[in-house]
Amino acid sequence: MSVKTNAMRVLDQRKVAYEVHEYSPEIHSAVEAAQAMGQPVERVYKTLVVMREALRAKPLLVMVPGDRELDLRVLARSTGDKKLRMATQKEAESLTGLLVGGIGALALLNRGFEMWIDGAAMACERICVNAGQRGVNLELRVDDLVRITNARWINPDG
């Protein structure tokens, strides 16, 4: 790959091992990305932008397996929010500065986002997450991802 993303630079600076997976930037879904990379879809995580009810509250970045839907009620119980909603595509792109299909938590460090990750990742040693650019995913250890992003675990039991 000729282009280094900010996410790769962060991992390089922290000496965290990762593997780069590239696929067509025309692919915007985690399921299709998993197929293109030859990875199990449950190990390819999508990053979703979730809006809080409070006016000036910073949105959440939530990493979930590509084959799952985010349960906003379960997330709200974990975050302590009364009500959450998915950001529109326009909101997500405006807030992150990244295109949908290229939003990744590692590319948005130190931007004030609270980061959350689905508890299903606890069962995986490594997962793939977007590198902050359409068509590029990074495979890394779950514990490294959680440590670097300060992601909190979504607790399905509330």
Evaluate whether residue 13 is within a structural domain. Answer: no
| Residue 1 predicted with pLDDT over 60 | no
Count of positions (residues) in the chain: 158
Weakest mean pLDDT among 33-42, 47-56, 71-80: 47-56
Residues contacting 56, CB < 8 A, separation 6+: none
CATH of the domain at 118: 3.90.960.10
Q: At which residue do the structure tokens 């069962």 appear?
A: 123
Total structural domains in the chain? 1
Domain holding 149, by residue range, is 19-154
Return d(Cα 138, Cα 30) in angstroms, integer: 13
pLDDT per position as a tens digit, 113-143: 999 999 999 999 999 999 999 999 999 999 9
- In degrees, to the nearest 5, what angle opens at C-alpha 106 toward C-alphas 79 and 43? 80
Is there a domain that residue 6 lies in? Answer: no
Name the pTM for this structure: 0.93
C-alpha 71/C-alpha 91 separation (Å) is 20
Helices (H), 80-153: 89-96, 142-149
- Using pLDDT thresholds of 50, 70 and 90, give the confidence band for residue 56: confident
